[in-house]
């Protein structure tokens, strides 16, 4: 995400060996931390194939933080002296600064962010640095770093979702009293308040936040101490590391721990639903911004034009938001397929998890960052909406319920109103334009007062049920959400910038 986690400084050592040299492609000479048992140097093509440092360098802050906690614990249990611990922490801290400043050179032949940082530490402080990896493996190290990254990403996304909710609540306050046609099957159905629409989205994004919070519980368990897969003989104190790094508990089983990527799958599943919610909203507003609907004016800063058709103002941000859901959903699919056939415990396949998670999180973050100001900066075209509210017999259902209140059985009432709508359609008029005689012929119980029931304004007021679009209930909900989101509705969507 944006926690300065994309330090630049290109991975060097990119050899481009010729395709026609099966086993003799120039091997690199850099000694591998795991090289003891090997007689042959790694084929350069294999190094290029298996490296992850080009993208997992984004984990450098988490890697350093985790290593500092590990070293601190090793000293506390007597495996390192205080002096050794201090040298390690100082070295790691300096490396962290260098990476953040873009001055660190990552080496492809050192595979990943973990080995790059460890090697830099040894280069800096010598043999003491070689003690850092005591009681630890890259298998639990990568899981630790990744969990911390996902945890941070969840916290950041939660803020962005709250910003978007505030933008919708802001719209709800601003559009108080505006009536919109509600649709089912994209056919005009019943009248609803615009605020009711906006709060529908607030609810969806609240569920998204709840899902992320729930996912966070399982993300926030410490895997470190699993070592390679069976645990370690070193007398480590896992609880101490967990407390230091803010984990709520320990992953219990070492085999489970080194193979578990459920947390990543769950995270991207939650992201997929956010993307689906964003996509549905984008689709709705794309339609609403067309000349045909003419319901909404999008802020021009969020639209682009056409290079050939001078009149065009296209809703590109919304279209891309709709389109980008595909890659988030694709990432979820990738992760599920990636993990479905893996035996316990760590398998190198798992290295393929990170780019999918990074991309899904980045994509949703970017969409959310634009969604909030777009929502706040759009305008309902009230006149254009109002002019056509009489079309589509939006009052037919509440009128049918009026007959039920008069004692007519529902099915009978449905039939009567259906006939009346049929007559009105033929005459191309509103229900309210039919003469009283037409009503009384089908339903003698009716009198003049029926004209106080017809029309969208009356219809909206007639709703009773909890959760309906009844104006007082909607106003209550707007208040409740404003309070809950700690907002003067609509303000503050720019207050949370990625740290």
Active site annotation includes 306 = yes
Tell me whether strands 221-222 and 249-250 are parallel, antiparallel or unpaired. parallel
Which of residues 169 and 350 has its CB atom nearest to ligand ARG in the complex?
A: 350
Half-sphere exposure of 24 (CA within 13 A, CB side): 2
Q: Give one word for 54, left, alpha or beta, with left for phi > 0 and alpha for psi -120 to 50.
A: alpha
Q: Is 49 in the site for ligand ARG (CB under 6 A)?
A: no
Which of residues 117 and 493 has its CB atom nearest to ligand ARG in the complex?
A: 117
Q: What is the pattern of x (binds ligand ARG, CB under 6 A) and - over residues 94-113?
A: ------------------x-
Helix (H, G, I), strand (E, B) or coil at 249: strand
Q: Is 350 in the site for ligand ARG (CB under 6 A)?
A: yes
DSSP annotation of 446 reads -
Q: Is 266 in the site for ligand ARG (CB under 6 A)?
A: no
Q: Is 254 in the site for ligand ARG (CB under 6 A)?
A: no
Which of residues 348 and 464 has its CB atom nearest to ligand ARG in the complex?
A: 348
Residue 495 phi, psi (nearest 5): -75, -25
Q: How many residues bind ligand ARG (CB under 6 A)?
A: 9
Tell me whether strands 187-193 and 179-184 are parallel, antiparallel or unpaired. antiparallel
**DSSP-assigned beta bridge partners for residue 184:** 187
**Upstream peptide bond of 354 is cis (omega within 30 degrees of 0):** no
| Minimum CB–partner distance for residue 56 and ligand ARG (Å) | 6
Are the C-beta atoms of 97 and 36 separated by less than 8 Å? no
Which of residues 149 and 247 has its CB atom nearest to ligand ARG in the complex?
A: 149
Q: What is the pattern of x (binds ligand ARG, CB under 6 A) and - over residues 112-151?
A: x-------------------------xx--x---------
Which of residues 150 and 380 has its CB atom nearest to ligand ARG in the complex?
A: 150
Active site annotation includes 52 = no
Residues 6+ apart with CB under 8 A from 310: none
Query: Tokens 């091997």, residue?
Result: 27
Find the catalytic residue in 14, 16, 24, 306.
Answer: 306
Binding region for ligand ARG (CB under 6 A) out of 9-17, 216-224, 346-354, 465-473: 346-354
Q: Give one word for 319, left, alpha or beta, with left for phi > 0 and alpha for psi -120 to 50.
A: alpha
Q: How many CB atoms lie within 10 A of CB 290?
A: 12
Are the C-beta atoms of 81 and 141 separated by less than 8 Å? no
Are the C-beta atoms of 432 and 455 separated by less than 8 Å? yes
Binding to ligand ARG (CB under 6 A) within 186-225 occurs at none
| Minimum CB–partner distance for residue 55 and ligand ARG (Å) | 9
348, 411, 464, 497: which one contacts ligand ARG (CB under 6 A)?
348
Find the catalytic residue in 185, 307, 449, 465.
Answer: 185
Which of residues 52 and 259 has its CB atom nearest to ligand ARG in the complex?
A: 52
Binding site for ligand ARG (CB under 6 A): 52, 56, 112, 138-139, 142, 348, 350-351
> Known catalytic residues?
185, 306
């Amino acid at each position: 995400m944006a926690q300065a986690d994309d330090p630049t400084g290109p991975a060097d050592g990119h050899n481009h060996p010729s395709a026609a040299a099966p086993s003799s492609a120039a091997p690199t000479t850099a000694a591998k931390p795991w090289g003891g048992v090997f007689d042959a140097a790694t084929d350069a093509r294999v190094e290029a194939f298996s490296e992850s440092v080009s993208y997992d360098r984004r984990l450098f802050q988490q890697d350093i933080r985790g290593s500092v906690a590990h070293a601190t614990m090793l000293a506390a249990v007597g495996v390192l002296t205080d002096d050794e611990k201090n040298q390690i922490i100082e070295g790691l801290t300096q490396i962290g600064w260098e990476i953040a400043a873009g001055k660190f050179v990552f080496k492809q032949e050192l595979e990943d962010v973990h080995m790059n940082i460890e090697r830099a530490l040894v280069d800096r402080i010598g043999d003491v640095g070689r003690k850092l990896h005591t009681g630890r493996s890259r298998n639990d190290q990568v899981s630790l770093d990744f969990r911390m990254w996902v945890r941070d990403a969840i916290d950041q996304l939660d803020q962005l979702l709250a910003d978007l909710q505030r933008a919708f609540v802001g719209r709800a306050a601003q559009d108080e009293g505006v009536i919109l046609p509600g649709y089912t099957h994209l056919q005009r159905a019943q009248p609803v308040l615009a605020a009711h629409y906006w709060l529908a989205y607030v609810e969806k994004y609240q569920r998204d936040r709840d899902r992320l919070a729930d996912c966070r519980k399982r993300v926030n368990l410490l895997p470190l101490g699993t070592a390679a897969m069976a645990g370690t003989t070193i007398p480590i104190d896992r609880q101490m590391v967990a407390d230091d790094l803010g984990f709520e508990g320990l992953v219990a089983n070492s085999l489970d721990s080194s193979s578990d990527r459920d947390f990543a799958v769950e995270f991207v599943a939650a992201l997929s639903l956010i993307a689906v919610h964003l996509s549905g909203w984008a689709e709705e507003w794309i339609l609403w911004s067309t000349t045909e609907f003419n319901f909404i004016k999008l802020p021009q800063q969020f639209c682009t034009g056409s290079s050939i058709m001078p009149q065009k103002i296209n809703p590109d941000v919304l279209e891309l938001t709709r389109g980008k859901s595909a890659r988030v959903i694709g990432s979820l699919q990738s992760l599920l397929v990636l993990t479905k056939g893996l035996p316990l415990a760590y398998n190198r396949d798992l290295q393929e998890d990170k780019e999918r998670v990074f991309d899904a999180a980045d994509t949703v973050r970017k969409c959310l960052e634009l969604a909030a100001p777009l929502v706040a900066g759009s305008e309902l075209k009230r006149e254009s909406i109002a002019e056509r509210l009489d079309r589509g017999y939006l009052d037919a259902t509440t009128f049918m319920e009026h007959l039920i209140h008069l004692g007519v059985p529902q099915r009978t009432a449905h039939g009567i109103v259906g006939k009346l709508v049929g007559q009105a359609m033929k005459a191309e008029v509103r229900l309210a334009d039919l003469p009283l005689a037409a009503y009384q012929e089908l339903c003698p119980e009716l009198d003049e007062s029926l004209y106080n029931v017809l029309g969208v304004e009356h219809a909206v007021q007639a709703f009773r049920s909890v959760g309906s679009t009844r104006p007082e209930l909607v106003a209550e909900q707007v208040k409740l959400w404003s309070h809950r989101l700690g907002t003067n509705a609509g303000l503050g969507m720019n207050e949370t910038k990625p740290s």
